[in-house]
Structure 1
Amino acid sequence: MPIELPRLSSNAPIFVRLLPRLAPIVEAALAAGVAAVPEGAAMPANHFADVVPLSMEYAALFLQRIDDGKSLTREDLSKLEVLVTSFAEDRVPLRSLTDGYLGGLQVFWQMIMEEAEPSDIGDLAALGAHLIATIGMLTTTITDAYVDVQQSIFGLERESRRVLCAALLRGEPAVDLAARAGAAIAERYDVISILAGAGLPPTENADAIVKRRWARWAQHALEDIAGASVLNTFDGSSGVALLPAAVDGRERAMRDLATSLAGRFGVNVYVVERLSVPTAQLPDAARECAEVVELARVLGRPTGLHRLEDLLLEYQMTRPGPARDMLARQLEPVLDQPHLMEALDVLMRHGLDRKTAAAELHIHPNTFTYRLHRITELTGIDPSDAHGSRLLAAALTVHRAYPSQRS
């Protein structure tokens, strides 16, 4: 419900004194607004030519509305929306626009107060109430107009870059897409695969909102690393980014990327990179990175940067084929006995040290040994034997990666 604004007194003296001084007050406010914008001093003299007459018009309209006992409406500000749209299309930051008009309004109000006399206190309070209401209307009008441009033009630009990235990752012709996106295709790229662990909200709407935010955070982080716009398909859950290959590599930056995103997301984040990949080899590199990053997740690896060389054995064991299927079948006799699966897992993690494994499970070493005997009886493989332990460790790796893998 809108708040009823106070009216000035009839023929308010401050009003009478302000009208003849309106032009110099507006000029001073405009100068202050430009000065409040960091980029303002570097702009050519005619850059704000459209702002001068519009500011004068709105200042007069502001006072007229007060005299009529009304406030500015959204319809009154239609010309401002057009002006803000042009600034947004010129990529003037929203912060600069808000700094400018707030800096100008501050001087506008200061000069009004300088015109005031002690007897104007009531009318000055009424003017202040109207000015606050106007600031609110200006803020929503400017923000809405700017966001509309971002969602249309900038949104199309981001989407065109995503489409370009996807085409490169599929090995499709991309010259026309690059021209549409305003991007140059590099000869080599660092391929970065990102995977966010579980932990999204349970509702579909919340899930979509969070994913968009995560995707935006990741895009900003990648652009900070690259120092430029980045081709990227990360959707808040998984995806691949292409950064023009760096001469010195980005290992530290990639480790920090995983850690910082995990801190913001509140879930584990896995990052895999392949460095300096020729553009023609991007599809194979991207597939490999996606497989490795998913393997890091299913194996319970921590947040961080992972590479194929860190998971060579696990990667090879989990490649599709008859050997992987046979490995998975070795554990079928004990899959429905959690205490035996737990004993086997703990034994492997502690390098076949039965005493340490039993202590972790808080059971007697003899009880732990009995469980190992049961594993041997059911699977036909002795976990305490060198060959048997390697075979069962491999089977466990396949089971973690593909828990439903059964004959």
Structure 2
Amino acid sequence: MSALFNALRERVEVNARHAVETYTNEVSEYQAMSPGVDDRIGMYDFAVFIRRRSLDLAAAELPLTEEDLAGIATVGRQRAEVGLSVPSQQQVLGLHTAMMVREVHDLARPEDVTDLLRMVGWLGTQGVRARSAYLRGYTRGVGGARVLSTRLEILARTLLADEPVEPFVADLRLAGQYHISILKMAQPTASETQSEVVAAFAADRVPVTWLGADEFAVLTPGTTPKAKILQRIRHAAALIGQPCGVGSAEGVVGGLAETLAWAREASRVAPPQDRPERLPEIADLFVEMAVARTPALDGWLRSYAKALSTGPDLVATLRAYYASDMNRTSAAAALHIHPRTLDYRLRRVREVTGIDPGSTVGVRLLSATVARTLAVAHYAD
């Protein structure tokens, strides 16, 4: 065995202890585990085993055996049986992969380049197989009532990470492209509510997952009518029980990680709503997304927001006005005011900003100002 493999073998136990410490420090569910649960899932023993086995097989240029994969699946099942959630397991798997690669790079010297490439290449191919086996075992370990919702959540996370999905599809419908909708909240959502929202989508077999306590993702096949997608987003928002910024984007399987990044960015600048009026996409929010990325420009827009704050409900008025495509009657009805009152408020907007809200410049500048004002205020509360 080469110097690199020998050096890695000498540090197996040290690296395993560091891995357990990292999981405990960075994964909230692991922080809350009692010592008895820790013993049941054998974090340290498994960390030692997987490192030693990986070194032995990589040095011999052999793949994981079916027995190895069965053992990894058993560990996944045990983690499910003690109640660890899908997000926590996805986080742990990501940490594990990052640490294994870093451990190799940290010890490699220039003369070890051949063995470095061999080890990293082995981790790349066999790591995918091990991850799939672990998640299959985890799915089997989940209680019967939660099996479908858990599989859908794992499928959603796998699709969003551009990873192989075959182990989790089985009887689930897989589309060639997906419409990703992200709901962003100002406050964390309770774990009980998170479970309720995920379960609500299981009946329609829609892949969904929580990306964090304040961020929910819905993956709908690209052939689904936009009205149906909006209906599902409204249902999710109602279950969540707080205003959500919504951002959407569409992409093909294998490229959904980039699509997710766009949808998340859009959701963070979208004006929050209790019941989304439409399905905001990049075309609707690209100005706000660009402004949010440019602090100087964002600050410049806030001067208009400050001017609007001097009038009677001018931000709400402009929001309704633009949401109604500048139809006075519809906007007034949405605000529950007389059209003449609406006209007065629009004149007031012109007075305090020097811009006609119905002009081309007004639509571009003031609509962006309103969206940024509402989003910033929402997440600052």
TM score, norm. by length of structure 2: 0.45
Greater C-alpha radius of gyration: 1
TM score, norm. by length of structure 1: 0.42
